[in-house]
Amino acid sequence: MATFNRLMNIDEANPAGNVHGGQLLRFMSDDAGYVAALRHLNKDAKGKFNAALGTVSKTAFHAPVHVGDLVTARAEVLSASAHSLVVHVDLWAESLMTGHRRLTNSTDAIYVALDANEASGLKVSSDRIPHVEHVDHEKEQHGQEVYREHLLARQDEKQSAAELKRRFKEEQWTASLGHVLLPTDCAPTNRTAKGGRIIKLMDEVGAVAAWRHSRTNCVTASIETLRFRKPLHLGDLVSLRARPTYASSKSLEVEIIVETASPITGESHIAAHAFFVFVALDENGTAIKLPPLDSYSEEAEARYNERKANQIKNRK
């Protein structure tokens, strides 16, 4: 388990004055989740394991975080498989003026266990991961369900990689963003990008696509499963592209693809892919109706209907 506290400053705000959703995700995954994973992995064998963020599953934004709030991220390991851990992270925000404390964000993340003593720092460890001792069986079952969904998603990864690359290169996108990976973006242990840093960039390019569609302030409401397919290395040229794929009256789904390329060899890979959901707000912070998309696929409509059914189920 790991708990982190942090005071939210003005340099972490979005144009509406609330804390940037991508910044919160970075705090949850690169700090709290990562530390919880490392503590569990190395509790019996000190210095044997490192960890890398592999998947972020169904992240929820329950309430906004304001500049001046004290946020607390609490991460707990739910389950362990042969090579990975499921970590649940909750983020709470406290107003220091009123003392009001509220749950603002929740996510489940899967961290891959790496061999800390291997030269590249990227080799999946062959050593046995410590078992998770649980008192709360509901948490254990939840972690196992998250991992089962992760395995199902991986079955289509090889087949979909080529299609994602084709779409990234050939189709039209509403927003794009370029970034060179610097040392501050990377883990100190293996010179690869920290997952939270890439998620923040994805949130930024997704917000641009949402703003261009709605022509008003948009904030992140949730993230469907986000998978990291390839590592991103120090010095790589990272390209991100985003476009709206489905709009209801209250929310906008945005697809985001991340490509990473070596400036030395020119070789490129699709590094990450996800669907972010945004809501549009007026100047008072109230959710407003979104304009419809000119066209959308049956697949996008099916994702929306599934998400809506899950929201109704979770309210019961």
Closest CA to 74 of 40, 35, 47, 46: 35
What average pLDDT does this structure show over 149-164? 74
Query: Is pLDDT at 56 greater than 90 in this prediction?
Result: yes
Predicted local distance difference test score (pLDDT) of residue 158: 58
Query: Is pLDDT at 157 greater than 70 in this prediction?
Result: no
Residue 221 to residue 224: CA distance in whole angstroms: 10
Predicted local distance difference test score (pLDDT) of residue 237: 97
Decide which of 302 and 191 is more confident: 191
Pinpoint the residues of the chain covered by CATH 3.10.129.10: 1-138, 156-316
Predicted local distance difference test score (pLDDT) of residue 247: 86
Catalytic residue set: 14, 203
Decide which of 21 and 312 is more confident: 21
CATH class in words for 1-138: alpha beta
Decide which of 308 and 21 is more confident: 21
Largest pairwise CA distance in the chain: 56
Of all residues in the chain, the percent with pLDDT exceeding 90 is 57
Of all residues in the chain, the percent with pLDDT exceeding 70 is 94
205 confidence band (pLDDT: 50, 70, 90)? very high
Predicted local distance difference test score (pLDDT) of residue 274: 92
**Domain boundaries 156-316, corresponding CATH code:** 3.10.129.10
Predicted local distance difference test score (pLDDT) of residue 314: 52
Instruction: Report CA dihedral (60, 306, 57, 215) to the nearest 10 degrees.
Output: -50
Residue 267 to residue 111: CA distance in whole angstroms: 26
Cα within 13 Å of Cα(287), Cβ side: 12
Predicted local distance difference test score (pLDDT) of residue 311: 54
- Token pair recorded at residue 233: 């290395």
162 confidence band (pLDDT: 50, 70, 90)? confident
Predicted local distance difference test score (pLDDT) of residue 312: 58
154 confidence band (pLDDT: 50, 70, 90)? confident
Predicted local distance difference test score (pLDDT) of residue 267: 94
Predicted local distance difference test score (pLDDT) of residue 156: 62
* pLDDT tens digits along 216-262: 889 999 998 799 999 999 999 999 999 998 888 888 999 999 999 99
* pLDDT tens digits along 256-310: 999 999 999 999 999 999 999 999 988 887 888 988 887 767 877 777 777 666 6
Question: How far is CA 196 from each of CA 54, 270, 311, rounded to the nearest angstrom?
Answer: 11, 17, 25
Bridge partner residues of 67 (DSSP)? none
Predicted local distance difference test score (pLDDT) of residue 136: 82
* pLDDT tens digits along 71-116: 999 999 999 998 999 999 999 999 999 999 999 999 999 999 999 8
Closest CA to 245 of 178, 167, 135: 167
Predicted local distance difference test score (pLDDT) of residue 9: 94
Predicted local distance difference test score (pLDDT) of residue 137: 84
Q: Where are the beta strands (DSSP E) in the chain?
A: 2-7, 49-61, 70-80, 84-94, 101-115, 175-180, 217-223, 226-228, 237-247, 252-261, 268-281
What average pLDDT does this structure show over 191-204? 95
